[in-house]
Each structure stands twice: as structure tokens, then as C-alpha cells.
Amino acid sequence: MSILVVADPWDGLDPRIDATVGLVAAAQDLGVPVLLCTPADLSVTGGRVRARATQVELGPRARGNDHRWVVGTPWFRTSPSRRLDVAADTDLVLLRIDPPVDGRYLHTTYLLDLVEAAGTRVVNRPEGVRALHEKVTALLFPDLCPETLVSADPDEVRRFVARTGAAVIKPVDGFGGLDVWLLRDDEAATSLVASATGGGARHVIAQEYLPAVTAGNKRLFLLDGEVIGAVLRRPDDRDFRIGAPCAVARVDEDDRRIVAALAPLLARHGIAMAGLDVIGGRLIEVNLTCPGGMSKTDALLGTDLSGTYLRRLLGVAVHHPSQQKEMAQP
């Protein structure tokens, strides 16, 4: 049994907090070899997807005093790269490229469609990553969300801020808290909206500011539509944006209602791993391209979210009719 992880360049990841590193560590704990490649390492010959991949071995790591793992230097080793037939030589492919879903990302999903068609499971399913947008998918359920506007028109966004009194503005294709602003109905709002929309050339999402965020933004970790964990994240005193995980979150009736509404859609599109962001019982975002937060939560709280994901996904893969294969050798 082996796993192929299609990710951004490995040496650019932060092993103290990165969720993909956490998943690889969980696989290593299970004794499952992990092979790595980037999108540029994929090719197709004779209808078969090939990868120039390298096996990775993580060094020791331990929980620290917060949400970060303590790792050594170097924190990983790799074997010489080799070419493999992805569907024939691996049992599970993890698509773990960071957003945005740009041309490179889309081209990768089309290649991985061929892997899935050949019988090897890809998580998350490439078709689902294309079909469901992290920030817009939540708007399919407007009754679950705060008041929201998607627009490139500065005047329309400015009126929204004036009507709500305060709004969080973020680019439609943004991620990781980049270019996320809190706008209030004051003299600075007009110029800030013009900047955020690029003078009307770029769509943004404007969302009613929820004061309940001070009590925490809840991340619900979903696996095949089931909540396997939840954690609270609170804004820093000097920054309205959400910070690192800080405490276990209680899953309440509002959370269960949100999950029940989304689960059929996620299942239909093969989104096995997802992270739902919820503030005050309102759905904010559906993280599905490269859902994270598990490794930070495991480090902080001593949970095993990464291991839970891997064990369940490998259990599905082992029973896939096309996946009774021998372990790939480095």
C-alpha cells in the first residue's frame, strides 16, 4: 500500500503547522509509504497518468506548548525520484495544492480525473474541486449564511457596507486571510472598497460582520459528511482576522443543521475532506481544495484528526475493487 501526495514544493511548507505534513506524519505512523510530486511532475502517456515522484520520510516531531509541532533540522529526507504509473502503483492520491484554483490547479485536476477513472481514489475528487468554490458554495445555502454580497462594483459594495454598518471584505479567489479587510461605514470605506475591487475589475465577497466572532470562529472537520472534530479560533487583540486554534469547540444544534444541509452536496461531488467555518451558528466558508487546521489542532489539543482522516481514507482505498496492489517500492 502507498499514497501519492500531489502538493506544492515540499521544502516550502512549514512542518510546524502544515496540515499536509500532518497527514504524511499520520501515514508514516501507520507504516504506509508516502510518495510526493508537484503538478509539474505529472504527465500522461498512452492514457495513463505518470508521476516523477520521490518517497519522503519525516524526522521526529513532538507536540510543543501551543498549536505548533517541534521538529528537527532537517525535518525530512527524500529518496531519489522515480517514475511511476499513478493508478497502478498507488492506493490513494491526496490532492493537496494550496488555493487559488488557478490554471495550474485546474490542469492538475484534469490529469487526476484519469487516475480516478483508472480505479484509484483521489481525495478530494478533482471534479468536486472544480465544481464547488470554497467561498461561493456556502451561498447555495443563504439561510445558513450571514448577509452576503458578491460584486465587483465599488458603489454596490459601498452601499452594502453602509447598510450593514460593518462588513468583512475578501477576494473571491483569496485564501489564508490574505487581503481580508474589516470595513466600517466611515470616510475610509470608499477608498478601501475601490482598492479591494481594483476599481471595479475584481470580484469580492462582502459579508456582514458578526460580533459573535469574539467568542470564536468554529472550524468543523468533516470526513465523508461526518463531523470528526471541532476547534475554536479567536481573533488576535490586534487583528480582527481569525487566529490559531485555541480550544475544543462544542458541536451544537446549529452546527448539526449546517452539516446536514451540506453533506449531500459534498458527497455528490466526492468531497471527503472538508472544513466548515462557522461563526455564531452562521456558515462562513467551505474549505475543500486543501482543507487544513488538523495538524495545528492535534498539536494543541492532543487529538488525532490527521490519523483519523488517514485511517478512514485508507480503509476505503483498500476495499476499492481496483486497489488490491502490492506496496510500491522506492
Residue closest to 104 by CA, chosen among 7, 4, 204, 202: 7
209, 239, 258 - which closes a domain: 209
pLDDT grade for 316, boundaries at 50, 70 and 90: very low
Domain count, the chain: 3
Domain with 172 in it: what CATH number? 3.30.1490.20
What pLDDT, on a 0 to 100 scale, did the predictor assign at position 175?
Answer: 66
- Averaged pLDDT score across all residues of the chain: 91
194, 209, 224 - which closes a domain: 209
Residue closest to 54 by CA, chosen among 43, 74, 38, 40: 38
What pLDDT, on a 0 to 100 scale, did the predictor assign at position 132?
Answer: 96
Average pLDDT over residues 180-195: 91
Same domain, 89 and 116: yes
Residue 111 belongs to a domain: yes
Domain with 254 in it: what CATH number? 3.30.470.20
Q: How far apart, in whole angstroms, are the C-alpha atoms of residue 316 and residue 19?
A: 21
Same domain, 65 and 161: no
C-alpha dihedral over 313, 102, 233, 69, to 10 degrees? 60
Same domain, 197 and 243: no
Instruction: Look at residue 183 and give its three-state secondary structure.
Output: strand
**24 pLDDT more than 90:** yes
What pLDDT, on a 0 to 100 scale, did the predictor assign at position 56?
Answer: 97
**211 pLDDT more than 60:** yes
What pLDDT, on a 0 to 100 scale, did the predictor assign at position 246?
Answer: 86
Same domain, 205 and 220: no
CB atoms within 10 A of CB 190: 16
185, 209, 233 - which closes a domain: 209
Q: How far apart, in whole angstroms, are the C-alpha atoms of residue 164 and residue 160?
A: 6
pLDDT grade for 173, boundaries at 50, 70 and 90: confident
What pLDDT, on a 0 to 100 scale, did the predictor assign at position 239?
Answer: 63
Residue 31, sorted as left (phi over 0), alpha (psi -120 to 50) or beta, turns out to be left
What pLDDT, on a 0 to 100 scale, did the predictor assign at position 314?
Answer: 93
Same domain, 156 and 181: yes
pLDDT grade for 183, boundaries at 50, 70 and 90: very high
- Amino acid type, 203: H
Residue 266 belongs to a domain: yes
Residue 45 belongs to a domain: yes
User: Is the N-terminal amide bond of 99 cis, ω within 30° of 0?
Assistant: no
Same domain, 30 and 96: yes
Residue 307 belongs to a domain: no
The set of residues, in sequence order, having a beta carbon less than 8 Å from that of 320 and lying 6+ positions away, is 91, 119, 120, 121
What percent of the chain clears pLDDT 90, i.e. is strictly above it?
A: 84
**241 pLDDT more than 50:** yes
List, for residues 125-150, the tens digit of each pLDDT value: 999 999 999 889 999 999 999 999 99
Residue 179 belongs to a domain: yes
List, for residues 30-70, the tens digit of each pLDDT value: 999 999 999 999 999 999 999 999 999 999 999 999 999 99
Same domain, 67 and 91: yes
Same domain, 98 and 156: no
Residue 294 belongs to a domain: no
Domain with 57 in it: what CATH number? 3.40.50.20
- Provide the domain limits for residue 244: 212-287
